[in-house]
Amino acid sequence: MDSIHYLQAAEAHCERRGCKLTALRKQVLELVLRHRGVVKAYQVLADLQKERGIAAPPTVYRALDFLVEQGLLHRVDALNGFIVCDHFECQHESMILVCETCGKVQEVDVMAALAGLRDVAAAADFSLSSQNLMLTGLCKACRV
């Protein structure tokens, strides 16, 4: 989906959830969409400052947190950054595949696979939190 259609779908998604994709939140989402792969908050802040002038870090962090809460972005803790969620219409847990060579990021729905892990954890009397797994390796293009 191209950026324009993604932003339109994101606005509709937020409306259905009873929240608003404000101009600032939309601009932050648009800035994240411009980056391929994982983008760090400080890069979004720098991009926002180029476009708006002065912008404070808490402004960007609040917008990014909102976008994560709405399922539009995923926080990739292992890389200290964010990626765009390609299928935000559903509640899901993801596996994020990151190419070590080119940095390409791919999101894969792993709800079914995690069910087995939840069963194992439950047998050990342990309750898992929602998971977004990140795995690194080589994409098809870089393996060739």
Compute the mean pLDDT over every residue in the chain, rounded to the nearest whole number: 88
pLDDT over 70, % of the chain: 95
Q: Give the model confidence (pLDDT) of 79-105 as tens digits.
A: 888 988 877 656 667 788 888 898 888
Confidence of residue 1 (pLDDT cuts 50, 70, 90): low
Q: 85 a known binding residue? A: no
User: CB 1: neighbour CB atoms within 10 A?
Assistant: 12
90 is in an annotated binding site: no
Query: Residue 129: is its pLDDT beyond 90?
Result: no
End-to-end CA distance of the chain: 27
Residue 67 CA to its chain's centroid (Å): 8
Please report the pLDDT score of residue 94 as a whole number. Answer: 77
Give pLDDT tens digits for 53-72: 888 999 999 999 999 999 89
Domains for the chain: give ranges and CATH numbers. 3-84 (1.10.10.10), 94-143 (3.30.1490.190)
pLDDT of residue 91: 63
Cβ neighbours of residue 39 under 8 Å, at least 6 residues apart? 31, 32, 81, 82, 83
Q: What angle do CA 77, 78, 83 make, to 5 degrees?
A: 60
Q: How many residues does the chain have?
A: 144
Q: Which of 60, 55, 49 is nearest to 82 (CA)?
A: 60
pLDDT of residue 133: 80
- Specify the pLDDT at position 113: 81
What are the pLDDT digits (tens) for 13-47? Answer: 999 999 999 999 999 999 999 987 889 999 999 99
